[in-house]
Homo-oligomer: A and B are copies of this chain.
Amino acid sequence: MPEIASALSKTAPDVPVTFTVNELAAQVGGTVIGDGNRRIKRCCGLESAGPEDISFVSNIKYIGQLNTTAAGCVVVDAKLNHQSIKRPSDSPLTIIQAADPYFAFRQIMVAIHGMRSHPKPMVSPLCDIAPSARIGADCYIAPFVTIGENCRIGDRCVLYSGVQIMAGAELESDCILYPNVVVYDCCRLGKRVIIQSGAAIGCDGYGFATHQGVHHKIPQVGNVVLGDDVEVGANTVIERAAMESTLVGEGTKIGNNVVVGHNCQIGRHNLLVSQVGIAGSSTTGDYVVLAGQVGVAGHIRIGDRVRAAAQSGITSDIEPGRDIGGTPAMDFKLAKRVYLQIFQLPEIAKRLRAVEAKLANLVHKTEEH
């Protein structure tokens, strides 16, 4: 892909200010080993990094790359024995040791690159805001945004083009809604909520009462309430409650193309990875992690700190603290053993046939005998 490779050279944003390694280490409470006066201007992956870039090693299995990387500086775990790094003497590596190296590197990324900057506050004349809506101070409201009757938009919110806020919805301050996000009527977003493009917050729950062969739509008169610091991925769908509220607790991060069914109560600081589906009225505790494509049946209770492996199918309540996997979801360690045996199934069947034959033979002989 040569033309793509050359394209890459354009992706590195220009950063006007550079930092010394010492400055960066000081910000994250890290220890510098090597030349702390090197100047750094960009964060970069280990393989692509150059002498003015800082990178990091998240996983012990990539430690070997420290011997060869061209990066100017690498953030590593404080527990790493840096003397195990074998570098040519004419190309020493500067490292920053940090107790939580992933978080330290994140702090350095924020220091160097910052979060995405948004357009300056303004309300576009090309948007459509109902007279009864109240818009806070210093908002950016892009063209082709609509804000319905009685909405309330908090201070410093950023609403990109094509965002549709239906009547009665309320956003606390500092929310960022990317293009074409839809917030249905009467839904409520806490502070600093981020919603990626195309997500649907508060569409009707999938509720039908089947009577005499017809699926009658059940009015969905509840709403969705997202706590502070929730992030919702692109094209994710969170259904409004039939009655009362579908809740997502503060600090929970939801991936792309996830579906959260009506009346779910998602706890705080969950990680719901892309393509997870949770059927109606299920609840999760705090710090639950559901990996990609996990499915959860309706009316299930998942305890605090449960972690489910990708593609798990959760069909019964799960006690707090458990790691699970497989379909139907079972203890993760058991799942690993089960899935090892699954490969052996044809072999098991063959061995069982052999045993049966031998045994029949033996029985025959014994009886004969």
Complex interface: chain B residues within 8 A of A363 (CB): 358, 362
Q: How far is it, in angstroms, between the C-alpha of A110 and the C-alpha of B216 when the chains are bound?
A: 11
Determine whether the beta carbon of A7 is less than 8 Å from that of B188. yes
Query: Is A116 part of the binding interface, using a Cβ–Cβ cutoff of 8 Å?
Result: yes
Query: Is A27 part of the binding interface, using a Cβ–Cβ cutoff of 8 Å?
Result: no
Complex interface: chain B residues within 8 A of A10 (CB): 188
Q: A11-B186, A339-B327 are in contact. Are A293 and B292 (CB under 8 A)?
A: no
Query: Is A332 part of the binding interface, using a Cβ–Cβ cutoff of 8 Å?
Result: no
Q: A214-B269, A225-B11, A359-B355 are in contact. Are A164 and B162 (CB under 8 A)?
A: yes
Q: How far is it, in angstroms, between the C-alpha of A241 and the C-alpha of B48 when the chains are bound?
A: 13
Q: How far is it, in angstroms, between the C-alpha of A127 and the C-alpha of B85 when the chains are bound?
A: 56
Query: Is A200 part of the binding interface, using a Cβ–Cβ cutoff of 8 Å?
Result: yes
Q: How far is it, in angstroms, between the C-alpha of A243 and the C-alpha of B48 when the chains are bound?
A: 10
Please give the number of chain A residues whose Cβ is less than 8 angstroms from any Cβ of chain B in the complex: 138
Q: A44-B243, A256-B206 are in contact. Are A13 and B221 (CB under 8 A)?
A: yes
Query: Is A259 part of the binding interface, using a Cβ–Cβ cutoff of 8 Å?
Result: yes
Query: Is A78 part of the binding interface, using a Cβ–Cβ cutoff of 8 Å?
Result: no
Residue of B nearest to A256 (CB): B237
Closest chain-B Cβ to A308's Cβ sits at a distance in Å of: 13
Query: Is A257 part of the binding interface, using a Cβ–Cβ cutoff of 8 Å?
Result: yes
Complex interface: chain B residues within 8 A of A203 (CB): 178, 196-197, 233-234, 256
Query: Is A8 part of the binding interface, using a Cβ–Cβ cutoff of 8 Å?
Result: yes
Complex interface: chain B residues within 8 A of A330 (CB): 343
Complex interface: chain B residues within 8 A of A338 (CB): 342-343, 345-346
Q: How far is it, in angstroms, between the C-alpha of A236 and the C-alpha of B110 when the chains are bound?
A: 28
Binary interface encoding of chain A residues 155-170 relative to chain B, with 1 for a CB under 8 A from any of its CBs, else 0: 0000011101010000
| B-contacting 9-mer, from A18-26, A32-40, A101-109 | A101-109
Residue of B nearest to A242 (CB): B109
Query: Is A323 part of the binding interface, using a Cβ–Cβ cutoff of 8 Å?
Result: no
Query: Is A301 part of the binding interface, using a Cβ–Cβ cutoff of 8 Å?
Result: no
Determine whether the beta carbon of B348 is less than 8 Å from that of A337. no
Binary interface encoding of chain A residues 132-166 relative to chain B, with 1 for a CB under 8 A from any of its CBs, else 0: 00000000001110100000000000001110101
Query: Is A317 part of the binding interface, using a Cβ–Cβ cutoff of 8 Å?
Result: no
Of B160, B204, B253, B255, the residue contacting A215 (CB under 8 A) is B253
Closest chain-B Cβ to A281's Cβ sits at a distance in Å of: 9
Query: Is A1 part of the binding interface, using a Cβ–Cβ cutoff of 8 Å?
Result: yes
Q: How far is it, in angstroms, between the C-alpha of A168 and the C-alpha of B252 when the chains are bound?
A: 30
Binary interface encoding of chain A residues 211-227 relative to chain B, with 1 for a CB under 8 A from any of its CBs, else 0: 10111111111110101
Determine whether the beta carbon of B115 is less than 8 Å from that of A217. yes
Query: Is A17 part of the binding interface, using a Cβ–Cβ cutoff of 8 Å?
Result: no
Determine whether the beta carbon of A179 is less than 8 Å from that of B197. no
Determine whether the beta carbon of B200 is less than 8 Å from that of A197. yes
Determine whether the beta carbon of A198 is less than 8 Å from that of B200. yes
Determine whether the beta carbon of B261 is less than 8 Å from that of A274. yes
Of B242, B257, B352, the residue contacting A352 (CB under 8 A) is B352
A-B pairs with beta carbons under 8 Å apart, 21 shown: A3-B190, A8-B225, A11-B244, A44-B243, A109-B243, A115-B217, A196-B237, A197-B203, A200-B256, A206-B253, A206-B274, A208-B253, A215-B253, A235-B257, A277-B293, A279-B292, A292-B295, A330-B343, A355-B359, A362-B362, A362-B366
